Amino acid sequence: MKRASGAAASKPSRKKAEAPAPTPPDLTVERVQTGLRIEKRILKVLKAVAEYHDLSLGDLLEGIVLHAFEGKCAFGPQSLQRIQTLKRVYDLDLDATASHQLVEP
């Protein structure tokens, strides 16, 4: 290996300093407590999904709703597969066709 001579040899190499990633804007919101009633098995699946993604149940629901308001799915392919597995674990046999048709005994 050839050694550099003179001042260049003692000069440390300098990389361009990368700009720090921009921080997202502060999205301050006011949250309220609610007495939500929801089908038992749906809640179990939602809680399991929230736990898997290390989110609170409220944060998960907010994310799902914000996506739905834009006509988007809140979950990627891997999460959808996990949800299908969790639906089997918790015997959740309901799908979108059951929406607005559920009755209590």
CB 98 within 8 A of CB 39: no
What are the tens digits of pLDDT across the range 7-55? 555 555 566 667 777 777 888 999 999 999 999 999 999 999 999 999 9
Cα separation, 97 vs 47, in Å, equals 22
pTM value is: 0.74
Whether 74 contacts 63, CB under 8 Å: yes
The residue to which tokens 């999460």 are assigned: 79
DSSP string across 33-45: -------HHHHHH
Q: Looking at per-residue confidence, does 6 or 72 come out higher? A: 72
